[in-house]
Structure 1
Amino acid sequence: MPRLLRFLISLLLIGLIVWQLDHVTLLQRLQNAKAEWLVAAGALLTLQILISAWRWRYTAAQLGMALTATTAVREYYLAILINQVLPGGVLGDAHRAWRHSNTLTRRSPAFQAVVIERLSGQIAMILLALISLPIGSLGTTLAISLLITAALLLVFWLLRHQAQVANWLQALRIALLNPPVLLVQLTASLLAAIACVAAFACCVMAINPQAASSLADWLPLIPLVLFTMLIPITVAGWGLREGAAAALWAWATLSSADGVAAAFFYGLMALLTALPGLVVIWRRGSPV
């Protein structure tokens, strides 16, 4: 899909959402946001980046590659920034793998490490979504549908790249599916996913502190909102995230304006916390 089209889709979705909502309520939520809750969201998103960088380093080590903590954090910040500003949501990760592969004699393990550590993270988010929602709910149905779609895409990719399947399966067994390694991977990934969910919850509290009284109603919806950001048709999930929040908040008989405003601030804080990646570009002249 052309990059310009993804920008247009994000703008179109956001425009449609704003047009459908109560503009006054939405504007009030945005204007009256509590800064302290947004700072907390930024801190949690920073923690998530650091945990993810550690996870990447751990995955690389399982595949026999050395990766220092400084390098892992630096490259992860750069990747997150690229994912935030360019369409698709994976270009930063591909760039991170490519930069790491330049330091190795074989390139494929670097790409395997990035794919596996991202897969570990998505498994954790899926688990959170499934665990937090009651059986038979709309949210659970959506989560299972997305999981089936992801599985079908993986099977399709494997069928198209049969020559590489054995090599990738071996990497998966070593760096993810080995029981002791899987325990470490899921622990790190669940901590990162919980940090993201908590950051979104802080954004909800920032726009409506009274939402604490209905915490049990909207907290389980957050993993699903975040999961929609993986669909690579927009820029950094903009539009999809807000649309999912509007729909799920309305389904839970909550204010759609609250969900959209919280989703907006989550996206904004995610972008701001990725800005240290600019330092990497400035100091190293990294191509984006």
Structure 2
Amino acid sequence: MSPRALVVTALKAAVSLGLLAIILAGVDIGALWARLDADVALAAAAALVLLQVQAAGAAARWRLVLAVHDRPLPYPAAWRNVLLGLFGNQAMPSTIGGDALRLWNGWRLGLPIGLATRTLVVDRVFSFLGLILLCVAGLPVLAARAEDPLVARGLLILVLGGLACLLVLLALRLLPSGLTGRAAVRPFVALSDSAWRVLGSRRALPPVLGLMLLPHLLDITVVWLYALALGVAAPWWTIALVFPPAILTAAVPVSIAGWGLREGALVLGFSLVGLPGDVALACSLLYGVSAVVTGLIGAAIWTVGDRDGLASLGRARREAATLPTDTEESAD
């Protein structure tokens, strides 16, 4: 790990730990601990099942994106690729994230680097779009309940910022030919073209649109189950109002896997809908732990099909770090 990467990782860890310390300082840890019982264990088991369903849906969505680019991929290979990414994002002590590992594994599966990169990014874009749509749906209610105008403005900025990024991506293909031919711009125009190919596919678009909402609906259900297990009989739609903005906040790349940001955003969201902050914190921590365990399960499943077993994870980390960053697909 380079000195710069170490500094960045240390700063992100400091942000996560600092935010968690601030949140925990205002919570009765004893009362929180007392809430953990058999019901929470059952909710945790259900959460692991739902998060595995989420991974299965993500694999199906990526296969649809690949199919639009005339690159069929067997479902088991796509599923294992997603599981490897989950491990990299949640449980791997490294600056090599899940997307880099998925790109490396896609290259191992015979995909050109450029195509693997573009399809993975486009797949992420559609998942992000689903999150934005859920945030937009709940924004009027949350903004009306927020007494502090800064909270409403913050939510609006997050949503508008996400929408702006998506619109810029889609607009790149409309740039003048004099710009699209430049080496620095071509990869991004190719990415925009890939997104439009999916949008223009009558066969792939409907299931992609459904699968872009599925992971977030499952996330909401996981948090809702934890809230019920902790003794808070909140309606599902109430959690649907507050958890998508928390996940959107956690996507800001200033912490380790969103830890600290997600907890703070969910505590704030719970307060807006009249739910206790300690339950919000417990739900967010339990969700985070479930994601980490899902990543570890994913790593175990991924290594079962690799001849090197667990040693393949170390090789994945080393080889992923050497992949070229250029997204042009000269080999496609």
Report TM bin, short chain. 0.7 to 0.9
Maintained 8 Å contact 1:10/1:238:
yes
Match of 2:257 in 1: 236
Counterpart-to-counterpart distance in 2, 1:152 and 1:90: 27
| Candidates 15, 22, 34, aligned match of 1:16 | 22
Unpaired runs of 5+ in structure 1?
none
TM-score of the superposed pair, with normalisation by structure 2? 0.76
| 1:183 aligned onto 2:206 | yes
Maintained 8 Å contact 1:86/1:235:
no
Counterpart-to-counterpart distance in 2, 1:19 and 1:165: 44
Taking only aligned residues, the RMSD between alpha carbons, in angstroms, comes to: 2.8
1:28 shift after superposition: 2.4
| Candidates 119, 126, 132, aligned match of 1:126 | 132
Distance 1:215 1:188, change over 3 A: closer
Identity between Structure 1 and Structure 2 (%):
25
AA in 1 matched with 2:186: A
Maintained 8 Å contact 2:55/2:83:
yes
Match of 1:68 in 2: 74
Match of 1:148 in 2: 160
| 1:200 aligned onto 2:227 | no
| 1:166 aligned onto 2:193 | no
1:276 shift after superposition: 2.4
Aligned residues: 285
Counterpart-to-counterpart distance in 1, 2:233 and 2:94: 34
| 1:79 aligned onto 2:79 | no
AA in 2 matched with 1:108: G
Match of 2:3 in 1: none
1:163 shift after superposition: 2.6
Maintained 8 Å contact 1:88/1:232:
no
| 1:248 aligned onto 2:273 | no
Counterpart-to-counterpart distance in 2, 1:254 and 1:105: 47
Maintained 8 Å contact 1:97/1:111:
yes
More helix by share: 1
Counterpart-to-counterpart distance in 1, 2:57 and 2:288: 19
Q: CA offsets per residue over residues 58-96 of structure 1, 9 Å max, x none?
A: 111111212111111111111101100358998211221
Maintained 8 Å contact 1:205/1:212:
yes
AA in 1 matched with 2:312: G
Q: Which moved more, 1:223-232 or 1:239-248?
A: 223-232
AA in 1 matched with 2:225: C
Counterpart-to-counterpart distance in 2, 1:165 and 1:34: 45
Q: CA offsets per residue over residues 33-76 of structure 1, 9 Å max, x none?
A: 52112211111111111100111111111112121111111111
| Candidates 100, 105, 121, aligned match of 1:99 | 105
| Candidates 115, 127, 131, aligned match of 1:109 | 115
1:150 shift after superposition: 3.1
Maintained 8 Å contact 2:16/2:259:
yes
TM-score of the superposed pair, with normalisation by structure 1? 0.87
